[in-house]
Chain A
């Protein structure tokens, strides 16, 4: 949920942008990170873990833990906590590792 009236800080974001998460159109503030833009829209599950396929979201918010991976404009494993949201950005949740050794890959 977006904080509209911050208890001590001045208003920071003015411009609004539209972006997409798993093909759903969402509003965000220009200057927010992708992770925050999703949380502002009450989306906290950003992906699934690679082995056990468990839900993952923001943990450190500082670009270290990699728990907030998403796919942005087709690029996989992007840190959503350190990437700023942009107009028209296509974000999708980070799903567990692709089965590169599967039959579909000729193995």
Chain B
């Protein structure tokens, strides 16, 4: 199979990249391992704002459906239930549909595998009933199944409280929020308000999670002693880390940036990694919010389009400048530390490879880049 641009991942970033690339006339193949497109938007019933070009709040599931419609109306060749298993020496990408394995030859790849939830270990974390917060959200919103009746949330970040709120709306009792830090991580007033009747244990950990074949008892270790509670669900919300395997196998250099989620590929202002054939987009390029996720997909696509001659340099520069401006605006507003870390990663990579900063980046980055 042959194409101009291969997009790995059918979540918001991958779909955004594929739609942008298709619009400019490139032949695009999009590969996603699931039986449906949308990635994690499929279970995100929470509202998101701002989005690129809009301050209006949109439900994640609705945003996902909108992108899927646009993608399905395009000429992009969509390969669902296809898994990237690696790359060949000639940089063709190996893909399997579970029946056969084949190679896809592409000029450029835009890799948008997203993020994975970081595990947090405690005695009994392998027992059925202990799962990631994301798994619980998938079960209630995508699968319409209750993962349990009495839940303990481990972690107090925004995502933990968001999932707790959604579980509660489905009838699950939130027995406790357990946080090992000395204060709640989330500072979202709305979420904190919704959780105001839930016991919060700070400076606390899960001492044990037990049950014969399924979870039924949780012991929380707090500074005031051990608390035992009946619960059949523990949701681990320990943050996300970028999925790096496709980049590793493509030989992309990795770097560690705590604020961006941990290890991730280095990339330049075009969202191109150290492997010139591989662009990066979405949460794999640093854990962020939905606005920047969509914008990184567009910026990566424009870089690939420009390199392949589907877009004139002038046009690409103009579009990129606008997209970067918006990315900076949204990300600085929503999580300034993330934007700073992203800028540092990009700056470091440019210095390392001796690549000049294009004007558009100096503009949006302002003081963060001192040469």
Give me the interface of A with B, judged by CB distance under 8 Å: 1-3, 6-9, 12-13, 29, 32-33, 35-36, 39-40, 44-46, 49, 54-64, 67, 81-82, 84
Contact = CB atoms under 8 A, between A and B. Distances in A.
B45 A8 contact: yes
Contacts of A82: 33-35
A96 B144 CA distance: 30
B143 interface: yes
Nearest to B61: A9
Given A9-B45, A82-B33, A61 B214 contact: no
B139 interface: yes
A89 B134 CA distance: 27
Nearest to A55: B213
Nearest to A44: B128
Contacts of A44: 128-129, 214
B300 interface: no
B141 interface: yes
Interface string B299-323: 0000000000000000000000000
Given A58-B139, A60-B117, A45 B145 contact: no
Contacts of B141: 6, 9
Contact of B139 (A8, A56, A61, A63): A61
Of the candidates B61, B134, B147, the one having the most CB atoms from chain A within 10 angstroms of its own CB is B147
A61 B126 contact: no
Contact of B143 (A36, A56, A59, A64): A36
Given A13-B144, A49-B126, A58-B131, A63 B33 contact: yes
B169 A8 contact: yes
B20 interface: no
A61 B33 contact: no
A39 B139 contact: yes
Contacts of B126: 49, 54, 56, 59, 67
B170 interface: yes
Contact of A55 (B117, B146, B214): B214
B116 A3 contact: no
Category for how many chain B residues contact A = 20 to 34
A56 B213 CA distance: 8
Interface in B207-231: 212-214
B28 interface: no
A91 B127 CA distance: 20
Which secondary structure dominates chain A's binding surface? Answer: loop
A13 B143 CA distance: 9
A57 B128 contact: yes
B184 interface: no
A36 B214 contact: no
Of the candidates B132, B141, B143, B166, the one having the most CB atoms from chain A within 10 angstroms of its own CB is B143
A61 B132 contact: yes
A72 to B, nearest CB: 12
Contacts of B34: 63, 82
B49 interface: no
B254 interface: no
A62 B128 contact: no
A33 B34 CA distance: 11
Contacts of A13: 144
B195 interface: no
B145 A36 contact: yes
A6 B144 contact: yes
Interface string B86-125: 0000000000000000000000000000001100000000
Contacts of A64: 116
Contact of A59 (B59, B132, B212): B132
Contacts of A29: 144
